[in-house]
Chains A and B, each alone.
Chain A
Amino acid sequence: MQINIEIIGNTLVAKLFGELDHHCCDEVRAAVDREIERGRIKNLVFDLDGVSFMDSSGIGVIAGRYKKIKEFGGRTLIIRARPQVDRVLELSGIKKILECG
């Protein structure tokens, strides 16, 4: 999995490429948490346009980051999810607690 991290103002944009499953969860978690812990960002955007596949392990990672961001009063947004990814997001109920564009 390729992870591109970009910081725009106080928002971290994590662009993910490849398949988001249990195997690459740790990698995504570490990359995003590193930036959260630096304390410079408030909000988080997951850009999933490059994600060709995701299972419920991906939900775990996104929900975990959402909790961290929320602790500091920030918002989490998911953008550009493809149909297969969107179906898993929809089923998980995560779309009801964070914003999806």
Chain B
Amino acid sequence: MNNKNENFMRLDFPSKSCNESFSRAAVAAFASQLDMNIEELADIKTAVSEAVTNSIVHGYRGIKGIIHIECRISGDSITVTVRDEGRGIEDVERAMQPLFTTDRDGERSGMGFTVMQTFMDKLSVDSVYGEGTTVTMTKTIGGEADGDFGEI
């Protein structure tokens, strides 16, 4: 076990779209203390951007609220939690289908969760309709999704 690499940070900000670029840059800056390549860092940045945009566009649609981010580094892994106290998702399974969007008139691509799933190793979405959504995603650096070589 390697416990020397433990760290965390928290970020709270209002659900303004100008905070999308700020929040993904802040997470990327924190994440970069892990020794990762440009592609891995870009993956984290993109996934965070999707989660924060979901909270703004869907969670807090038409209302103002606070978005909470927590990042935790443990060994070679980083876990990013993006939480809102917005509308929540009625049907999480359906929302996670590629191309599914509730935004019929607009031009949302319906790819947000697919991006998070593809670019991170683990994704979980907990939502209570009417209360809010928590997205938790983990990426292990320097390995494939299963970076576990077992006990030696």
A-side residues, CB < 8 A to B, are 19, 21-23, 25, 29, 53, 55-57, 59-61, 63-64, 83-84, 87-88, 91-92
**Number of residues of chain B lying within 8 A (CB) of chain A:** 26
Query: In the complex the two chains form, what is the Cα distance from A23 to B38 in whole Å?
Result: 24
Given contacts A21-B53, A56-B115, A57-B53, contact A88 B107 (CB under 8 A): no
The reply to whether A63 and B107 form a contact with Cβ atoms under 8 Å apart is: yes
Report chain A residues within 8 Å CB of B38: 83
- With both beta carbons as reference points, the residue of chain A lying nearest to B113 in the complex is identified as A56
- Please tell me if the beta carbons of A21 and B42 are within 8 angstroms of each other in the complex: no
**CB-CB nearest in chain B for A90:** B118
Tell me which of B17, B57, B114 has the highest count of chain A C-beta atoms within 10 A of its own C-beta. B17
Q: Is B56 an interface residue (CB 8 A)?
A: yes
B residues contacting A by CB (< 8 A) are: 17-18, 20-21, 24, 38-39, 42-43, 45-46, 49-50, 53, 56-57, 106-109, 111-112, 114-115, 118-119
- Given contacts A91-B114, A91-B115, are A22 and B109 in contact (CB under 8 A)? no
Whether the pair A22, B107 counts as a contact (CB closer than 8 A) is no
New A-B pairs, 12, CB < 8 Å, besides A22-B20, A56-B114, A83-B38: A22-B56, A23-B18, A53-B42, A53-B46, A55-B53, A57-B108, A60-B106, A83-B39, A84-B39, A87-B39, A87-B119, A91-B114
CB-CB under 8 A from A60, the residues of chain B are 106-109
| Interchain CB contact under 8 A, B42 and A55 | no
A83 lies within 8 A of B17 (CB): no
* Interface residues of chain B: helix, strand, loop or mixed (majority): helix
Give 3 nearest A-B pairs by CB, closest first. A23-B17, A56-B111, A60-B107
With contacts A84-B46, A87-B42 taken as known, whether A23 is within 8 angstroms of B114 at the C-beta atoms is no
Is the beta-carbon distance between B17 and A22 smaller than 8 angstroms?
Answer: yes
Nearest-CB residue, chain B, relative to A58: B109
Contact B20 A56 (CB under 8 A): no
Q: How far is the CB of A10 from chain B (nearest CB, A)?
A: 24
CA distance A63 to B103 in the complex (A): 14
Task: List 29 A-B pairs, Cβ < 8 Å.
Answer: A19-B21, A21-B20, A21-B21, A21-B53, A22-B17, A22-B56, A23-B21, A53-B21, A53-B42, A53-B45, A53-B49, A55-B49, A55-B50, A55-B115, A56-B50, A56-B112, A56-B115, A59-B109, A59-B111, A60-B106, A60-B107, A60-B108, A60-B109, A63-B109, A84-B42, A84-B46, A87-B46, A88-B46, A88-B115
